[in-house]
Amino acid sequence: MKPNYREIRRYDLSPPYASAVIAENEDTGALMYYLVEQSLTRKELEIYNKIYKLVMMELPPPADIKALDKPRERLSREIKRILDRYRGLIRGTKINLDRMAYHMEKDLLGYGPIDAIMKDENIEDISADGVGAPIFVFHKDYETIPTNIVPVDAQALDDFVSKLIHMAGKHVSVAAPIVDAQLPDGSRIAITYKQEVSPGGSTFTIRKFKATPITFTQLIQSRNISPEIAAYFWLMLDNHKSFLVLGVTGAGKTTFLNAMATFLRPNLKIITVEEVPEIRLPHKNWIRLTPRLSFGPEKTNEVTLFDLVKATLRMRPDYLVVGEVRGEETYVLFQAVNTGHGGVSTMHAEDFTAAINRLTSPPMNVPKAYIPAMNIFVMVRRVRVGDRLTRRVTEIGEVQTADDVRPVFRWDPKNDVHVLVGQSFLLREIADATGQDEEELEEELRRRTRVINWMVERKMMDFNEVAKTIEKYYTKPDKVLAEVEGVAEVETT
């Protein structure tokens, strides 16, 4: 550890071989993330380099590896089996075979020097800025901090970036030095290769993927949203309303979208269109589409987001979910919601006004008359609550016209609560369309809020369990409400 730094937190990553240490500079208060790993001894490294080549020759080819169920676990066992066969090379030496297997697994099957960090549940982003600069991480408790990992060799960094892109099934070269891709674990990676566009050398940014989607109950528990907001979206999606999530990079747009999509009726046909597949739904009638990019100059076989969104209109989806709109596909999405399809998406924008300005300008070019069909705008932000940075839905507005987005919920930063600030005209619209009184709908909102509160109180955070409860409410609402009331009765006695 550097001089003047003191350890303030330590936790395991891959025990007993790797742990994370958060250290603070006693003079400046600056934080640093230390990856502490058991390194190989000189003798172990010598033997490791010999065995590494032998293991490389004996492992299945990449095509066979991709076909395996849980490939990393299977290959990890294979590495240990192969190492065991070469015990003769290490007989009479003080060699830790398990430690050697750990390093071989992370180098052959994992992410090499950052493999342990990729396993850290507290890390959201990992980025390398070039040769000589430390790798940075975004830690959920400490924000952006440097690590003790510093790429010092340009060729080694180029090779590592090339390996990452190869793991993602993509190609990178000096002719095409910018690549966005998805790693085997679902994480998103953006790279620049060599010094073609980044003078400091190759760079990469990894946005880590959560294997299990965050549920709306987790968002409520973390105060990102309130139970009333969740119930509001449940009712709106049950009545075929559309919404657009707005915010900057890393604000939690896709997380919110995915959590709310759980409320869609289980029998609906849903099509998702994403550049990098991130959305996970519990629905059986679900089609996932991703674009196909071309590396050639003519791009004759390229399939773009625009092509895919246009194609979905012939597939008759009940809901069309576009991971993020940026270009001409936006017009097609708004065309879809104006012709009776449900639509959900995310977009980069600082506020509602900026969103409408962007939507109605090139390259999106959405006519102002189409804007109200996207019924609800949602603003999500990274905000500071006390001494920590977190995420909040800060405003929800209903789109009356392109010039009139009426706030319904707003986050109160002083008390860290969500407040109802306006009357919902969509509720009146639903009442007119279904022949119900507004009072009946408001009572249904209260019932669904009770169900959601019950789920949170029971600590129902698992994605599948949450989805099953919502499905059960659609088919047997009285049974679910009886369970809710039964818990309430027990708690009051």
Query: In a structure prediction context, what are the per-residue pLDDT tens digits for the chain, which is 493 residues long?
Result: 778 899 999 999 999 999 999 999 999 999 999 999 999 988 888 888 887 877 777 776 655 555 556 666 776 777 777 777 776 666 666 777 788 888 988 988 889 999 999 999 999 999 999 999 999 999 988 989 999 999 999 999 999 999 999 999 888 999 999 998 889 888 999 999 999 999 999 999 999 988 789 999 999 999 999 999 999 999 999 999 999 999 998 899 999 999 999 999 999 999 999 988 889 999 999 999 999 876 555 566 789 999 999 999 999 999 999 999 999 999 999 999 999 999 999 999 999 999 999 999 999 999 999 999 999 999 999 999 988 889 999 999 999 999 999 999 999 999 999 999 999 999 999 999 999 999 999 999 999 999 999 999 999 999 999 999 999 999 999 999 999 998 544 333 3
Q: Is the dihedral of CA 310, 315, 316, 318 positive or negative?
A: negative
d(CA 304, CA 26): 52
- Predicted local distance difference test score (pLDDT) of residue 493: 35
- Predicted local distance difference test score (pLDDT) of residue 252: 93
- Predicted local distance difference test score (pLDDT) of residue 292: 81
- Quick one: the chain helix, strand, coil %, rounded to 5? 40, 25, 35
H helices, E strands: number in the chain: 16, 18
pTM of the shown model = 0.84
- Extended beta strands in 415-456, E state: 417-420
- Predicted local distance difference test score (pLDDT) of residue 492: 33
d(CA 40, CA 37): 9
Cβ atoms of 292 and 306 within 8 Å: the answer is no
- Predicted local distance difference test score (pLDDT) of residue 192: 96
